[in-house]
Amino acid sequence: MEGELVYLFAGFAVFWAGLLGYLVWLQARLRALQAEVQRLEERLAEEVTPLEAPVGRAGSSARVAPEGGA
């Protein structure tokens, strides 16, 4: 009886621990990818092509630093 319960516990533990691990990994991957997409979109917005640039040097940053700081 006790031995049976050990195997029953092991079977359920493998399943639920595996699922939890997979969910944690998936969540971390989703967050990392969302952050990467946001970072790349911001960089793309900063990079202005010569035709798009209203003033200034081609390839220069379009973002203006706020007064009194970076």
Partner 1 sequence: MSWLVGQASRLYGVRWVTLPPLVGLGVFALIAGALVVAPRESVEGEVQRVFYIHFPSALTAYGALFVVFLASIALLWTKDMRWDAIARAAAGVGVLFTAFTLATGAIWGRPIWGVYWTWDARLTSTLILLLLYGGYLLARSLADPTDEQAARYGAVFAIFAFADIPVINMSVRWWRTLHPQPMVVGSDGPAMPIDMVAVLVIGLIGVGLLATWLIVLRAEAELLGVRTQALRARLDRRIGA
Q: Which residue ranges make up the site for partner 1 (CB under 8 A)? A: 1, 3-5, 7-8, 10-12, 14-15, 18-19, 22-23, 26-27, 29-30, 33-34, 36-37, 40-41, 43-44, 47, 49-50, 59
Look at residues 41, 44, 46 and name the one whose alpha carbon lies nearest to residue 64: 46
In angstroms, give the least distance from the CB of 42 to partner 1: 10
d(CA 67, CA 6): 67
C-alpha R_g of the chain: 26
Of the pair 39, 64, the CB lying nearest partner 1 is at: 39
